[in-house]
Structure 1
Amino acid sequence: MSARRLRAVIFDMDGLVLDSEPTYVHAWRQAAAELGFPLPDSFWTDLSGCSGTMVSRRLLDRCGLGFDLERFQTLSGAYWLAHVQRYGIAVKPGFFNLLEVLFQRDLPFCLATNSALTAAQKCLANAGLADRFPCIVAGDTVSAAKPAPDIFLRAAAEMERPIQDCLVLEDSPIGIRAALAAGAPCIFVPSLKPADAWAAEHADYLMDDLQQVADFISAG
């Protein structure tokens, strides 16, 4: 997609707008260890972009059906809240410049995240972005979360734009799969290095950060 044809932008949240994934990993790792399941870093990083349901499924697959998922969720939620209340959540470089470009070009934008709506709202509030997105489509407001296309299709409908004219910004392979399934052009801004090879190959563009995205749209 050329930037000239762009009619709207759809943002992912975790790892794309917010540097929130390390806060989740911190909480998950502590909760799992407390339950007697110290898991390697590779397990947690592989959860990038996953919905809560997918995280639960992978934990049960790894730890067995005896894993106390309810206790894990309670513990990890408490650890996460304590961490972000103390340290906050960092906003990714280039985000505010990108918003300025979108306002200058009068382009609508929306947040489309696998997180539950209340969780997304808490994350945005802890990052100082509570009122930045006029539209939020969350994983618990659609029939199927990413990598299904539902979240992006709903976001396009909310903005009253054809999905093929909406540029999706994603940091994970799961999000890129969802964008492709929806028929949306997409930019892969990987939150993990090295960048996932499949997502880098299949996205329309590979960019380093949101500042590069801002420059791309501004030049269009």
Structure 2
Amino acid sequence: MLKEKKAVIFDMDGSLIDSMWIWPEVDKEYVQKYHLTLPEDFHKAIEGKSYTETAAYFVDMFPSLHKTVEEVQAEWTNMTMELYKTRVCLKPGAREFLNKMKEQNVLLGIATSNGRTLAETALKALKIESYFASVRTACEVASGKPSPDVYLKVAEDLQMKPENCLVFEDIPNGIRAGKNAGMEVCAVDDAFSRPLTEEKKRLADYFIHDYFEIFDDTYERCGV
């Protein structure tokens, strides 16, 4: 998996940290507060979208909100900040993997669909912000995932060619983004996207249940 790889780029939520469980509760609380009804394809519709794009989706879908994109983002951030400070944790084996990559002088980056405030809050709370030479959000590029923009931006920051980067992703559109960037992608198991496991395996080059599988070479090679 790591052969000829000089950089590793992580999606954050669901891939590096266990945090996707936060958002269904936020969605539920938010729609109840404003008496909204989410469409059946809601999760598919927002999959991979940046924090800004998702807020824009709400503003466009629910004009009764009478809110700006910035106001929606700020409200979500206020609703989740304390959880990102105190309740998220690294995926099993992730800290050990980060340390191993640091020892091997592999550059590390973050390419997240989340907002910068929450991303920085989580990284600081977990005391891992110093590992990453680049932290970029999809709000900072032209388009969110499955567009490759945020992955290419991190690779540019790291001064790495896409073929020398390995991506870790937990959702299909995130995997597509990494592949569209010309990078190999390892899909990560996560409870939130577990119903999509077979699709994730079809799209990705590798699949792990946790990062310990990389150390003992028990990860799954996909597309072979």
Q: TM-score range by the shorter chain?
A: 0.7 to 0.9
Query: Who is 1:144 aligned against?
Result: 143
Give the count of matched residue pairs: 214
Gaps of 5+ in 2: 219-224
Q: CA deviation at 1:3?
A: 2.8
Query: Who is 1:185 aligned against?
Result: 184
Distance 1:202 1:40 in 2: 26
Query: Who is 2:63 aligned against?
Result: 65
Post-superposition Cα deviations, 1:146-188, rounded to whole Å, max 9, x if no partner, equal 2111111121122222101111111111111111111111111
Q: CA deviation at 1:30?
A: 1.1
- Structure 1 residues 216 and 106, CA, compared in 2 at 3 Å: closer, same or farther? farther
Q: CA deviation at 1:105?
A: 2.1
Query: Who is 2:77 aligned against?
Result: 77
Distance 1:34 1:78 in 2: 14
1:211 partner letter: F
Query: Who is 1:104 aligned against?
Result: 103
Gaps of 5+ in 1: none
2:117 partner letter: T
Contact 2:51–2:139, Cα closer than 8 Å, also in 1: no
- Structure 1 residues 84 and 151, CA, compared in 2 at 3 Å: closer, same or farther? closer
Does the alignment pair 1:51 with 2:59? no
Output aligned runs, 1:1-220, within 5 Å. Answer: 2-37=1-36, 39=38, 43-44=42-43, 47-59=46-58, 64-70=62-68, 72-85=72-85, 87-191=86-190, 192-216=193-217
* RMSD (Å) for aligned C-alpha atoms: 2.7
Which of structure 1's runs of 4+ aligned residues deviate more than 6 A?
none
Q: CA deviation at 1:45?
A: 8.0
Contact 2:133–2:158, Cα closer than 8 Å, also in 1: no
Q: TM-score, normalised by structure 2?
A: 0.81
1:77 partner letter: T
Deviates more, 1:48-57 or 1:15-24: 48-57
2:36 partner letter: F
Contact 1:117–1:139, Cα closer than 8 Å, also in 2: no
1:78 partner letter: N
Contact 2:144–2:150, Cα closer than 8 Å, also in 1: yes
Distance 1:152 1:169 in 2: 11
Query: Who is 2:221 aligned against?
Result: none
1:9 partner letter: V
1:139 partner letter: A
SS of the residue corresponding to residue 111 of structure 1 reads strand
- Structure 1 residues 116 and 96, CA, compared in 2 at 3 Å: closer, same or farther? same
SS of the residue corresponding to residue 122 of structure 1 reads helix
